[in-house]
Every structure is written in structure tokens, then in C-alpha cells.
Amino acid sequence: MRISGRPTFWQVSPGDAECLSGFEVGDWVRLKSQGVKPSYEWHGTGKDSFAVVHSVSDMGYLELASCFRKGRWMTHYMDVEKVPSFKVGQHVRFRTGIKEPRWGWRGCNVMSKGVIIGVHADGEIRVVFPGLAAPWRGDPADFVKEEMFDVGDWVKIKEDLVEPKHGWKSLRPGSIGVVQGLVYENEHEERGVLIGFCGEQEQWLGLPDELERVQEPFRIGHQVRVKEEVKQPRFGWCGNSHEVIGTVTSIDADGRLRIYSCLGSQKYWMLDPADVEIVKEKPIDIGDWVRVAASVSTPFHQWGEVTHSSIGVVHKIDDHNDLWVAFCFLEKLWVCKPSEMERVKAFKIGDRVRVKGSVLKPRWGWNFVTHTSRGVISGIDANGKLRIQFAWQEGRRWIGDPADVELDPDVI
């Protein structure tokens, strides 16, 4: 166990320690939806009622305050769970199924929507509604936050949506688009959201409660790949596959992604954002297969005999965070900066391969091998040098530079 102020770890028996509550003063809580009867009664409340932590004791008990009862009361932290708090500036509406707010309607109705302008220490909120002269006093349990979208926001149709009000067209749950505009549909001022989806000629009209915000919007420079569950991307494979990781080079107004891929039949690959996922790259480590990134014109430590097409294996990372890379054609390790390199898919024993069509002469010659020859990798040296077995060579293995060969596309 690490103790604040101690330079070393402290050993302790599990029976001599207990978990802290994890609650802090100001947290919003409610009764757990499942479990045993609470240690203290929450008079005049239900499972949806909110309270605010006023103080925390060493024994795991919380002192709570709420707008639905006078004074404060105690409860054990095991009886409650944290909930998101309401904040000034949020748009809210009355929750679905409400019969009457705690203190009556007072000029509002079930369709009213407003903006929070004040939040008290006991959770009571003040809401401004159109048409009312003064702020409206309310219990937070009577409200739900209304998601607000702005033009340019990335949004997704909710995965559990059964049937949108304005129909699907060619869309589906999980489709991702970009907000193009906001409209008001009827006399109740029900907000609609106009969204551009790639592949749709017309903008799609949806309601805020049918949508959710994309947590990590796509940006130029993101590394992406097609999701495993996608069998056929909307705009086709273009010679690529699930293994290909591409770079987002441009984004259309409707969210369509233009991806740079050096492996497909076309230099640029068009993709629907709903078909792809952002790849979180881990730092390059020892044992990774790498090459110099296409964007690097001159490496920090110069080229030597290395080129953009050269493929090597990282053997060492020094105290300056420089990479020491082994190439099969060099006797010494080649030094570079991590930012100058990119990972490539490692070859493995058993892979079926062929010489690349762009190679005029392999590094160590043809030795009766041709572009139509197919072989199986039977050995790999620490510097990436490949030993390939061709059926007609009767046990003799062909030595190859990994930059000269590729996986056999007929078996990928």
C-alpha cells in the first residue's frame, strides 16, 4: 500500500484495512436502485430523489441535505450511489411520466423547457421558462437534462432506438453524422436537429432524445481502421482489409472520411464514420517492426543506407528515448527518434508470401524465384531477415529482405 508522505510501500494485512467511501462534500447522490433497506429512512423520497453530501464521517456515514425535507440526516455510503449534478446553464425539461412537480405547475406544463440559472446547496434549482416573469423553483428529481446540439457537432443515432419519428431512410442505429442546423417543429417548440449523414442526399431530421453526442469526434490526423463487426463498408474495401490502419486526411461536411492507405488499390479510401474506430497507438517498444514514416524528409540522425521502404526491428531504447533499430542489411544498429517511425505488421513463421510486384531485384538476388512464386516463411532472424521455403527448391530456403516481400493476397 502506498501511503502519502512515505517514500516506500507499506505492508498491511487485508483484515486491518477498509475501503473509504469515495464520497466527497458536494457530491450528488440517490438511493441505490437495488439492495437492502437503507440504514436510515429517507422520509418523503423515492428512488429518483436527489440529495447532496454535506459532510463525510470516518465511519463511512454521510450527512445529506435535500430540498424535499427540512434539516439534514445521516445515511451509510453503501446505501447510496453518485449521480451527475445539475449545473447552471443546462437546458432541462420535465421528466417523462411526471403527474405534478413537487410544488405544483405554477404556470408551466409537461412540455415546458427551460434553463437552470441557480443551484442551491441542498440541490434545489431555479429555472427560467419562456413566458414566466420570475425564476421557477423546482426539485431536481422532477427534471431531466435536455441534450443540446450545435451546428458542427458529431452525433450518433442511439443504439437502442426502435423507430425514429421521421423514419430511417438508409440509416440505422449507430449511424454517425454532423449537425447541419436546428429547427422548431410545432407549437410546443419541439426542437428538431438536421443532420448530414454521408451517403444520404438529403439531411435527416431527428429529435434530441433520439441522438447522443459522439464522445471522441473524428479529426484530421486520426489513425482509424474498419470495425471487426463490419463485413462490408458502405463505400467498399478498395483493396484494403480489417488489418489496414489509415490516416484521416480530410472530412466532408456530412462526416465522410477520406483515409490515406498505402496498401489498397487506391491511394485514398472513402469511409463512413460509423464503419470505423479510432486506433489508440501505444508507444513503439522493443520488438516492434518499424519503418520511417512517409512524412519524414530527413531523420534526426540522417539516413545512412536506410530508406522509407526499409523495414527493421527495434532492439533497444536508450536513456534519451532514441530507438536502436536492426535492419537485415546493416551490421550495426540504426538510431532514430520514436516520432520518426511507424509500426508495420510483423511477419511471422507460417505466413505465405511473395516478392512485391514493384521490386525490380531483391536485395540478395532472385535465385530462380519470380514475381509469381509463392512461399512460406520458415525462419525469421532477429534483424528481420526472412527465410522463405519455396516448394520446388527441395529444402533450400530463399533469403529475403522484409521490404522486398508481401503477404500473398490470395490467402489474406
Domain with residue 182: its CATH number is: 2.30.30
Q: Is residue 284 part of a domain?
A: no
Q: What is the mean pLDDT of residues 360-383?
A: 91
Whether the CB-CB separation of 100 and 82 falls below 8 Å is answered with: no
Whether the CB-CB separation of 355 and 377 falls below 8 Å is answered with: no
Q: Which residue has the cell 470505423?
A: 276
Residues whose CB is less than 8 angstroms from the CB of residue 393 and which lie 6 or more positions away in sequence, other chains included: 368
Examine the pLDDT at 42 and tell me if it is beyond 70: no
Mark which of 257, 278, 299 sits at the end of a domain. Answer: 278
Separation between Cα atoms, residue 20 and residue 109, nearest integer Å: 43
Helices (H) and strands (E) counted in the chain, each on its own, are 0, 30
pLDDT in tens, 12-39: 666 555 555 578 898 999 888 655 555 5
Q: Number of structural domains, the chain?
A: 6
Nearest to 314 by CA among 296, 333, 294: 333
Mark which of 116, 145, 174 sits at the end of a domain. Answer: 145
Mark which of 110, 125, 145 sits at the end of a domain. Answer: 145
Whether the CB-CB separation of 257 and 224 falls below 8 Å is answered with: yes
Provide the residue count of the chain. 412
Q: Is residue 360 part of a domain?
A: yes
Cα-atom radius of gyration of the chain, to the nearest Å?
31
Q: Could you tell me the pTM of the whole model?
A: 0.51
Domain assignment of residue 129, given as a range:
91-145
Examine the pLDDT at 186 and tell me if it is beyond 80: no
Read off the amino acid at residue 36.
V
Whether the CB-CB separation of 241 and 230 falls below 8 Å is answered with: no
Q: Are residues 134 and 179 in the same domain?
A: no
Whether the CB-CB separation of 216 and 278 falls below 8 Å is answered with: yes
In Å, what is the CA distance from 318 to each residue of 266, 285, 314, 332, 373?
A: 39, 11, 11, 15, 41
pLDDT in tens, 219-274: 988 888 899 899 999 888 888 888 788 888 899 989 999 988 766 556 788 999 99
Cell numbers that stand for 17 in this block? 484495512
